[in-house]
């Protein structure tokens, strides 16, 4: 283990409509269907069938490529480690349940603020030739061939206590490379570490500040293109570079977030039949 990996959860509850939504970002490759269904099953055993459901629990992975695998029920996704790993599956599910339970137990009236800005020189398009095949009208909408926007929401209780924040920025956490054999949250995990260290986070406490660096439309945006193939020599420094850029931008957006989100809470969830 180079750095521990975490699940970070927020719950937003609208008292007027009695609707709530869970937003969870975990330092894993992706949330598989197997994990989602098991998390919902265990939440229903804790809170009943109506509070936290497949519709209003949103689970996502930061997409780190340096996390343990084998936690899908589809063979294709388990090929890299030659099968399903029940120990890792249980670790991920239990961590998510614990994060959601803590968020549930710490619910209190509060405010949400939103901010956004661009993060420069933090990821390059790994397929620029493919990008150039887009129609000119499509490319004209953007200033470059990657999405540079970071969107951040900040949570503060009415008593002034800062709960934490979650932001979305598009980049593959692949700086450690495919030769790395140590568990790490890569650039996004490092960004969370820096933010939480500055805020004095203590995960042993009942309630503490959390900073989630979730992924966005990362597509072809990679931290490795700038430097070429990871070499196991400079990978840590490059991970730190891209983590620090995300952290410093998130810190600025957090500090200057003054636009309050208002209105009701709602969510959408659907299944798509890919066989058709």
Catalytic residues, by residue number, are 222
Structure tokens belonging to residue 59: 């689970």
Are 211 and 196 in contact, with CB atoms under 8 Å apart? yes
Give the 3-state secondary structure of residue 48: coil
CA distance 70 to 92: 11
Q: Are 168 and 214 in contact (CB under 8 A)?
A: yes
Residue 79 gets which letter from DSSP? G
Asked if residue 12 lies in contact with residue 113, where contact means CB atoms within 8 angstroms, the answer is no
Helix residue spans in 12-109 (DSSP H)? 33-47, 75-78, 86-105
Measure the CA–CA gap between 61 and 212, rounded to whole angstroms.
11
CB 218 within 8 A of CB 65: no
Burial 21-57 (b: 16+ CB within 10 A, else e): bbbbbbbbbbbbebbbebbbebbeeeeeeeebeeebb
């Amino acid at each position: 283990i180079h750095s521990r990996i975490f699940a970070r959860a927020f719950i937003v509850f609208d008292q007027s409509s009695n609707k709530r939504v869970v937003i969870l970002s975990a330092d894993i490759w992706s949330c598989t269907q197997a994990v989602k269904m098991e998390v919902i099953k265990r939440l229903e055993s804790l809170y009943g069938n109506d509070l936290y459901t497949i519709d209003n629990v949103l689970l996502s992975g930061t997409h780190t490529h340096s996390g343990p695998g084998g936690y899908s029920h589809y063979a294709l996704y388990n090929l890299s480690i030659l099968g399903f790993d029940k120990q890792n599956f249980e670790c991920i599910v239990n961590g998510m349940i614990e994060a959601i339970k803590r968020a549930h137990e710490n619910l209190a009236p509060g405010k949400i603020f939103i901010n956004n800005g661009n993060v420069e020189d933090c990821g390059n398009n790994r397929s620029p030739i493919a990008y150039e095949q887009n129609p000119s009208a499509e490319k004209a909408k953007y200033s470059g061939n990657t999405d540079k926007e970071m969107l951040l929401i900040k949570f503060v209780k009415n008593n002034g206590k800062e709960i934490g924040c979650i932001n979305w920025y598009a980049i593959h956490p692949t700086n450690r490379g495919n030769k790395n054999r140590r568990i790490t949250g890569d650039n996004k995990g490092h960004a969370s570490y820096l933010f939480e260290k500055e805020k004095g986070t203590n995960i042993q406490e009942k309630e503490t500040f959390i900073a989630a660096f979730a992924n966005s439309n990362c597509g072809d945006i990679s931290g490795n293109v700038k430097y070429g193939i990871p070499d196991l020599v400079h990978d840590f420094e490059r991970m730190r570079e891209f983590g620090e850029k995300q952290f410093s931008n998130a810190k600025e957006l957090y500090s200057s977030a003054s636009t309050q989100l208002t209105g009701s809470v709602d969510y959408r969830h659907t299944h798509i039949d890919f066989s058709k």
